């Protein structure tokens, strides 16, 4: 069954996403890029709030920011985010630098934190790098979009290719996700591919991804995903 990842920009939005039924509450600062990061002190506050939710709480993920693939810098950023208490740590696989070397640098961290490699549809997804992430101990892989002004996920990768990504990543033992300016109208076709989750930000907000979080929009997406589960 495909879960619901809701990206949030504040502690208040965290609570709203939980109320709306998110399966993963994703801490991301949309004003700072595709994977803009929260400040570390704010991440610590968020992790404490999440722990206080107790049993039955959604999962919690956090991004390390839009960073070029420089091993020492990526490792340091990922370690800093993991140390705040966020159990899922997301990092972008950008074109700049050496992604493979970054994966190797993160291998020790992957033994104590659940790392998610975020590939970008508008920058190309290399299956060999997906395999490398799995070998390096990553917990998951997802596809998103880097340029939020250049169209949604399916304007860059056709549905059959997305399905192939999901199947191949799952065969490697990875948690799988799809995101990238997704709308409610994307749910039926993408959920049918069987990813572990679909990720949303702009569709949850009034006025775009940097706008106010809408509980009504989030509940609508929750209902759409539930309908696919029941189908």
- Which of 109, 161, 149, 163 is closest to 133 using CA atoms? 109
CA distance linking residue 157 with residue 222, whole number of Å: 24
- Which of 192, 189, 214 is closest to 200 using CA atoms? 214
Give how far Cα 203 sits from Cα of 13, 15, 50, 174, Å. 14, 17, 23, 26
Residues 6+ apart with CB under 8 A from 59: 23, 24, 25, 87, 88
Active site residue 90: yes
Helix axes 40-53, 11-19, angle to 10 degrees: 30
- 90, 148, 156, 201: the catalytic one is 90
- Which of 142, 192, 189, 198 is closest to 165 using CA atoms? 142
CA distance linking residue 220 with residue 227, whole number of Å: 11
**What is the enclosing helix (H) or strand (E) of 189?**
helix 187-191
Q: Cβ distance 100 to 135 under 8 Å?
A: no
- 14, 17, 28, 141: the catalytic one is 28
Question: Which residues are catalytically annotated?
Answer: 28, 90
């Amino acid at each position: 069954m495909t879960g619901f990842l809701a990206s949030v920009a504040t502690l208040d939005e965290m609570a709203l996403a939980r109320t709306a039924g998110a399966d993963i509450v994703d801490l991301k600062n949309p004003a700072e890029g595709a994977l803009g990061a929260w400040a570390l002190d704010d991440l610590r506050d968020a992790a404490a709030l999440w722990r206080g939710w107790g049993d039955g709480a959604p999962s919690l993920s956090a991004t390390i920011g839009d960073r070029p693939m420089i091993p020492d810098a990526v490792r340091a950023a990922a370690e800093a985010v993991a140390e705040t208490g966020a159990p899922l740590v997301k990092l972008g696989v950008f074109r700049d630098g050496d992604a493979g070397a970054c994966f190797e640098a993160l291998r020790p961290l992957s033994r104590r934190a659940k790392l998610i490699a975020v590939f970008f549809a508008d920058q190309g997804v290399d299956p060999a790098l997906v395999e490398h992430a799995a070998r390096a101990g990553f917990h998951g892989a997802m596809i998103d979009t880097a340029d939020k002004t250049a169209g949604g996920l399916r304007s860059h990768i056709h549905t059959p290719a997305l399905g192939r990504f999901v199947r191949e990543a799952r065969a490697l033992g990875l948690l799988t996700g799809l995101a990238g300016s997704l709308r409610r109208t994307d749910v039926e076709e993408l959920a049918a591919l069987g990813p572990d989750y679909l990720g949303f930000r702009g569709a949850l907000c009034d006025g775009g991804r940097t706008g106010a979080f809408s509980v009504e929009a989030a509940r609508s997406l929750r209902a759409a995903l539930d309908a696919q589960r029941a189908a």
